[in-house]
Each structure stands twice: as C-alpha cells, then as structure tokens.
Amino acid sequence: MKEYDSIVIGSGIGGLVAAGRLVNAGYKVLVLEKNHVAGGYLQSFKRRGFTFDSCVDCFSGLDKDGPIRSVLDGLGITEEIETIRLDPIRLSLYPDFRVTVHADLDNYIEELSSLFPGEVSGLRAFFSVVRAIYSDIKDWSDNLIGTSTQNKMPLNIVKYGKTTYATLLDSHISDPLLKSVLSDRCPFYGLPPSKVGAVSMTALIMSYFSSGAYRVKGGNGRLADILVDGIRNKGSEVRFNTEVIEIITEKNRAVAIKIDEATEFRADHIISNIDYRTTASMLLKSSGGKERSAKREVLFEPSSSFFILYIGGKVDLSSFTGASSIGVFPSNDMEYNFKRESYFSPDASIGITIPTMLDSSMAPTGMHSIAAHEMVDYSFASSWKEVKPELMKRTLRKLEKIIPGISSGAVHIEAATPETLKRYTGNTNGAAYGWTQVPELRQVTTSTTNLYFAGHWEGTGGGVVAAAYSGLKAAKEIEASTRGGTY
C-alpha cells in the first residue's frame, strides 16, 4: 500500500526544493537523509562559538524571482531567514593589482575598462555575448520548471554549448592578463578556461549579477533547516540518520525504497538527490544486476574537490575594504592553477571566505570565522588522513602572507579534505559540483519510470542555484505526470 506520493532521497538543496514545491502543490512527501542534518554542501557547523559554512561561499536564487525564493514563499517561511546580499561580490588579488567584482555589472565593466583601457571594445562585446547567453539560460531554466513558454533549446545555448570558456574569451579579448581576470571564478568549478564549458561559466558568473550573491545570516545551513521546518509544517516528513540502501522496482517502475532489509516505504514517485553511481547501484540491487538503471548519453568524470581550512580567531582584515569573498592569484597564469604540480604550492590560487565581515553573529565578539578553499583532485593523496596535517600547515603558510597574524590570532583550526566531503555527502571522490563542468553537459535519463533526479548530478549544472532548478524540474515532471498536465 502506498504511504507517500513522493519520496526524496537526500536533503541537499535540490531535494529540499523539490520536496518544498511538491508539498506546496498538495503532495505528501517523505525526505530521507543519511546524515543528522540537512543541506548537503549547504551545511553549517559550530565550534567554540564560531559558525562555519562547510563549503558554500555564496549563492543566487534568493531574489524575488529566484527558484529558491519561490519555494520559501510557497511554504510561507521567507520571513524566517535573513539574507545578506554581497556588494562587492568578490575581491580578486593579483601580484600587481586588485579587482573589485561589484554587484552591479556595469560598475564591474567600468572597473575592468579602467584597468585595461585598450580592451574597452572587447569587454563590451564579451559581456554583450554573455548577457545574451545568460538570458537564454534563464529562459530555458524557467521553461524547465514551467514558468516560461520557451519550449525550444535557445539559440545561444546551442551555439555555445560545445564551446570552452577560453574560446569565448579569445573571440573578444586579446590581453592574456584580462583573460585571467575574467576567469577568476574558474577555480570554483575546478577547471581551467581551456576545459570548462562557456555556458557553465556564464551561468556561474552572470547569476550573481542578475539574481544577486547571497548568504544567510547565522550561516547558510539555516536555509536548509528552515526548508525542513516548512516541509514538516505542511504535514510531510523529513527523517535524519536514515540511509536508503535500495530502490525497489516492479516492471521497470520505481515503487519503493528500503532503509534496511525489513523496512521499506512505498510511493508513486521517487526523486534521487544523491550521487549518480549510488543511485545506479541501488537500482541494480533491486533487479539482481539486470536493471538498466540510470544512464547518460555521455558519462563525464566527477568534478574536482576541495581542501578547506576553517579558522576562528582575531585578525586584522582592514586591507580587504569590506570584501568578504576573496580570490588570491599569486600567478597571472590562470591555466597554471589547474596543473597537478600547482596543488598547495605557494604560487597557486586560493579562495577565502570571511562571512563575519558582514555577519558578526557567526563568531564571538571581535573575532572572525574564516574558510580557505584550495581546489584539488581526490587522487592527489592515497591517504588523506596521513597528508592532512602537512597540508594544513602549507595552507596556513599561504594565508599568513595574505592575512598577517592569522596563525597567532587563531583559537580554532580544523580542515576538511576530499575524503571528508565524500564521507558526509556520498559524492564520488568528494566531487564539489557533480559532473565536471565541461562543454556538452547533458541531463541524466533513466529507463526506470517514476524515478527522477535532482541536484548537481542531474545535469542541469553545478552550484546551489543549478541544483535548485533541478529540484523544481523534478517536481514539475511529477506534477505533470499525475495531474494530466503537459511537460
């Protein structure tokens, strides 16, 4: 006998948004999470009076037309969280100059034009193109969730879908240094300009200018907590410390899940918000290895991961002029940052997030919570436990050059490795963005009916807002299939 209309496996932002939309539409939903808290990479944690965001710096989608905001409004919980919009979005530091990434795109273009006066026409042409690409991305994303009438793949996504970001830059920009500056967000995806997709990079960069770059006061994990409360308040369930071990299929149709050999829950529809390979293994278990399970037209490699150092203490941050997200690039060669020999070297880039510059509630009075991110492949170390102490020292030495006195002022230091991210999220190799964000990303499909995907493994893209769109898309598909609608 059916117990729920839909079951969501995993409580990352994609799964929570999917559940929230379904609950708003009157469905009874069960969300199952193997950890003790919700949010996936959106989690926050506390140590000695400090609050740290585990992985996410900032994200879009909380503006009045944003995909996350739409669910919060539907659940009636928008007022339960206080958002902080970043301006500037970021400060990028290079050997001989710095660039402020203003929240207003025209101000950002003006700053770049003053630094690179010989590239003014190229900058205008470049941003004209990325604006057009992003407009099509937004229209297509809204179509996927039923808020746009765009029913054909937009021209610019088709045109640039197989293009690398480097190729897009080369078409308009001549100065190699300006190309590096315009690639300052590439470390977020863990791919150099020569490999990352132009459409993926456009989505990442332009979403902040269009929708805004936000954090949640008190820690980004509060967003996940509030979504859980909203889902429960509407009569649906969210269970923690509950790991799904099998997706049960009957006649090639997903009908239930198991959390142990004696306990199963049945539903009309199942949404997987977890690692693709784990989902596939759950299906194979049900069919005795015969099920075709989930598939992709092209199966890409998992994205790279991060080594993250969390520091709480008293430091002087006056040199950052109010910027709470900082990218540091000791080398002007952006491609160098992605070579294996650059990992943890003094010349490789590092990202620094200091949310307490805008939110003092996340640390004791007069102190700061700081997270430093170094991108790295999981394969870098055969034993992350063994190399972790040394990598903490290397990262701290790099930070000391950027924030003098950070070592002596620290009262708490700990680190997360790719192994840590793998353990808490279940993501293959601790992947930060699901599939690697190369050109020609395609969405996951399945031969099993009534099984849907949400999150950054679904193929909509990497990052919080892309995962949110994927959750809305899964919910929309369920609504269309059960209520005689069209999709």
Decide: 176 and 319 in contact? Cβ < 8 Å.
Answer: no
Residue 48 burial by CB count (10 A; 0-12/13-18/19+): exposed, middle or buried?
exposed
Question: What does the pLDDT read at residue 375?
Answer: 94
Decide: 343 and 190 in contact? Cβ < 8 Å.
Answer: no
Question: What does the pLDDT read at residue 287?
Answer: 60
Contacts of 452 (CB under 8 A, 6+ apart): 18, 269, 270, 271, 272, 474, 477, 478
Topology classification of domain 104-211: Guanine Nucleotide Dissociation Inhibitor; domain 1 (1.10.405)
Q: Token pair for residue 10?
A: 């995993």
Same fold, 4-44+60-82+217-297+442-482 and 104-211: no
Beta strands in 10-85 (DSSP E): 29-32, 44-47, 50-53, 83-85
Characterise 27 by phi-psi region: left (phi > 0), alpha (psi -120 to 50), beta (else): beta
Question: What does the pLDDT read at residue 373?
Answer: 96
Topology classification of domain 4-44+60-82+217-297+442-482: FAD/NAD(P)-binding domain (3.50.50)
Q: Which of 179, 175, 189, 211 lies closest to 85 in space, CA to CA?
A: 211
DSSP string covering 137-148, please?
Answer: HHHHHHHHTTS-
> How many angstroms separate the CA atoms of 12 and 390, rounded?
31
Question: What does the pLDDT read at residue 146?
Answer: 66
Rounded (5°) CA angle 269-270-272: 155
Q: Which helix (H) or strand (E) holds 376?
A: strand 368-376
- The residue type found at 199 is V
Distances (CA, A) of 393 to 154, 309, 312, 475: 48, 10, 16, 45
**Quick check: helix, strand or coil at residue 252?**
coil
Question: What does the pLDDT read at residue 443?
Answer: 75
Question: What does the pLDDT read at residue 300?
Answer: 76
Question: What does the pLDDT read at residue 320?
Answer: 87
Tens-binned pLDDT, residue by residue, of the chain (487 aa): 578 999 999 999 999 999 999 999 999 999 999 999 999 999 999 999 999 999 999 999 999 989 999 999 999 999 999 999 999 999 999 999 999 999 999 999 999 999 999 999 999 999 999 999 999 998 888 776 666 665 667 888 889 999 999 999 999 999 999 999 999 999 999 999 999 999 999 999 999 999 999 999 999 999 999 999 999 999 999 999 999 999 999 998 999 999 999 999 999 999 999 999 899 889 887 665 554 444 444 467 899 999 999 999 999 998 888 899 999 999 999 999 999 999 999 999 999 999 999 999 999 999 999 999 999 999 999 999 999 999 999 999 999 999 999 999 999 999 999 999 999 999 999 999 999 999 976 778 778 999 999 999 998 888 999 999 999 999 999 999 987 543 3
Question: What does the pLDDT read at residue 365?
Answer: 97
Domain residue spans of the chain = 4-44+60-82+217-297+442-482, 104-211, 302-435
Decide: 476 and 454 in contact? Cβ < 8 Å.
Answer: no
Handedness of CA 60, 304, 291, 4 (dihedral sign): negative
Question: What does the pLDDT read at residue 387?
Answer: 98
